[in-house]
Structure 1
Amino acid sequence: MDIRPKITPIYQTSVFKFEDLNELESYFSEPGSRYLYSRNGNPNSDELADAINRLEGGTGAIATGSGMAAIFAAILAYCQAGDHVLCAADIYGGSSTLLNAELSRMGITVTYVPFEQFYDLQQFVRPTTRLMLAETISNPLLRVADLGRLAEECHWHGLKLVVDNTFATPVITRPLALGADIALHSVTKYLAGHSDVTAGVVVAADEAIAARLKQIGVIYGLTLSPMESWLAVRGLKTLRVRVREHSHNALVIASFLANHTGVREVYYPGLEQHPQHALAAKQGAGMFGGMMSILLADDAEAVNDFMRRVKRFPFAPSLAGVDSSLSYPLGTSHRALTSEQQQNLGITTGLVRLSIGIEPVEELLADLEQALA
């Protein structure tokens, strides 16, 4: 029977069979010719990695069990004990926790670079500095990095640029095309898009680094499971249309909130008053994504009241699903930072992060209006 499914089946198996020793030897002598063990590779996880690699324009990629695993793999691709890393000060709290709490135990040190000093790294660079970790659009204050300029500055100092492209997605920005050496994602967010997958991906511009990432994934056991990979591939197929809808809704809502007396500040690069609006428009193909943060009164009860009243934005500490949600950076993603770090970054009691979904925008506006009344 000739079976040719349009959709790749789920290869829900931990191991693959061999006919004899000759097949075993061909596995080792012809990489990619067949599969042995799902930690080493599986058709579903390879399909996901290859699809995102094409979107980002890389030379190779690996799919990992989470976005955190992707960040870990990207740093290990370039670093070993005794090395030093630069990291954007305005970054996802999990990234800084990984660097501070775990990679420091492996002998990898970190210095945090304020956003205003991204393009003058001289004072931060040491002989042992290997890379700079930054985000295309920062979490949670939506600052936009000039990736081309940052790549030039990093390469001038002999550093690699690793970019977390989760908020932007390759539909909006492709970091490798702008000079970055690695682009990574929490696939959990926009790439899968339906709040039912936990996954990550790392894409390399250089073939040797792509091979090193593969080695790290196999040896550390970071490989993504077949079922999660299949779900993420399914979600990825609607990425372009979803990003357009997220971006459209977010711009309408940001404009509404920017004129609302109950909102002190709106952080969204699609607004003309955003400090990096022109850069975001140029670097983002005219789309600005579905993420924003708003500043309410710096009073916990005022924030609690808003969270209880809003109906279409459940308090769910993640982002980028087709359904809208909200999160609270001070108490979730950036909880591990010191009070001084939180204050310096502008992560205060009144800061609420909104993930704008693809529901009818009129319904979202009506819900926000009644919640802020």
Structure 2
Amino acid sequence: MDLSTIHPKVTPIYQTSVFKFEDLNAIQEYIDDPQSRYMYSRNGNPNSDELAEAVSRWEGGAGAVATGSGMAAIFAALMTYCRAGDHVLCAADIYGGSAALLNLELARLGITVSYVPFEELYDLKTHVTLATRLLLCETMSNPLLRVVDVARVATECHAHGLKLVVDNTFASPVLTKPLAYGADLVMHSVTKYLAGHSDVTAGAVVARTTEDAARLRQIGTVYGLTLSPMESWLSVRGLKTLRLRMAAHSENAWLVAEFLDEHPAVEAVYYPGLPTHPQHALALAQGGGRFGGMMSFRLADDAAVINRFMQRSQRFPFAPSLAGVDSSCSHPLTTSHRALTEAQRAELGITVGLVRLSVGIEPVEELLADLAQALE
């Protein structure tokens, strides 16, 4: 059969590490224009390129790179702008893995970091030095769901000559597109909402300019961050239902947040969809009327209480990740944010009693019934 006559609707999985060349002329063609064909899957492959292009379209970017994990995406984003001797600003409300990368590994490369309290993100003058290159923040912070005004932060960063890198994992481009508000790079743990089914580990970084997009691709190739064909294919498949899933996540989470907000055992609920949330109006405008599927709530600061809740719940298993179609819970103090210092955790209010929920797309009445019995 002539393979040129086959036109699949879905891109096949190019499960190969290397591609063939006809002769020396063909390899020279690749050397002259690496975008003309494929050579080695680490340099790029049809599946990872398809995912990168899809995420870039979602975010309205000029180009992207797909990476082996969300952590790889954060690293690629930071290395786009930083070198030894540079200084990075990071929002104090940040994923613990991001803090670990900044504190442990970038320090070894001669890159220093300072943390900016949430209240000071829109006035950076006391934090900026001559060596400062960028600010890293999250659209919705992990785990307390504080919402950043991306347009205001971008204006403040650019006034100081800084780049703005935004982790958009919690919101997804269905809710917020940071590049449209002035961000320079936006990154995702594709593992979470973009793939959506808890069966992929992947990341992506999207650039606002073609120059930064080219730099991202170089970093992905040289550091070996490029995502494998199979993981890329699964991520693209998941991405096709992102809009529908985010609508269901958001609707369920809003009802769960209302339930928890009224429960006597719950001391506080952190969800931007609640009118009592400090950034509710901003989240409403920036999120297009939806607030996502992530929230945290506070029980008594007693490990026995948390253990009883986790042991009783059947629909929110303790699984330290998030954003799958199936609901889950996590414990920031002992998992995602354990790399933060004790002082950082205390300042953010990350204590034993804080539980993070990732609300899935199951029938919401089943989720509410499970929470009711688990909190008895």
Q: Give the TM-score of the pair, scaled to structure 1.
A: 1.00
1:356 aligned to 347, 354, 359, which one? 359
Distance apart, 1:201 and its partner CA: 0.1
- Is 2:163 the counterpart of 1:123? no
2:135 aligned to 132, 135, 141, which one? 132
Q: After superposition, give the CA deviation of every residue in 1:143-193 in whole Å (9 maximum; x if it has no partner).
A: 000000000000000000000000000000000000000000000000000
What is the aligned partner in structure 2 of residue 310 from structure 1? 313
Alignment gaps of 5+ in structure 2: none
1:330 aligned to 333, 339, 353, which one? 333
Q: Which ranges of 4 or more aligned residues in structure 1 deviate by more than 6 Å?
A: none
Distance apart, 1:29 and its partner CA: 1.7
What is the aligned partner in structure 1 of residue 147 from structure 2? 144
Computed over aligned residues only, the root mean square deviation of the Cα atoms, in angstroms, reads: 0.5
- Is 2:245 the counterpart of 1:242? yes
Using the alignment, how far apart are the partners of 2:259 and 2:339 within structure 1? 32
Alignment of 1:94-173 (within 5 A): 94-173=97-176
Which deviates the most, 143-152 or 330-339? 330-339
The one-letter code of the counterpart of 1:350 is: G
Distance apart, 1:31 and its partner CA: 3.1
1:294 aligned to 291, 294, 297, which one? 297
What is the aligned partner in structure 2 of residue 55 from structure 1? 58
Distance apart, 1:338 and its partner CA: 1.7
> Counterpart of 2:81 in 1: which secondary structure?
coil
- Is 2:3 the counterpart of 1:29? no
The one-letter code of the counterpart of 1:116 is: E
Distance apart, 1:351 and its partner CA: 0.1
Distance apart, 1:240 and its partner CA: 0.2
| Count of residues paired in the alignment | 373
The one-letter code of the counterpart of 2:302 is: D
- Is 2:277 the counterpart of 1:274? yes
Q: After superposition, give the CA deviation of every residue in 1:183-230 in whole Å (9 maximum; x if it has no partner).
A: 000000000000000000000001111100100000000000000000
Distance apart, 1:33 and its partner CA: 1.1
Using the alignment, how far apart are the partners of 1:260 and 1:284 within structure 2? 27
Which deviates the most, 163-172 or 338-347? 338-347
What is the aligned partner in structure 2 of residue 370 from structure 1? 373
- Is 2:78 the counterpart of 1:75? yes
What is the aligned partner in structure 2 of residue 200 from structure 1? 203
Alignment gaps of 5+ in structure 1: none
The one-letter code of the counterpart of 1:301 is: A
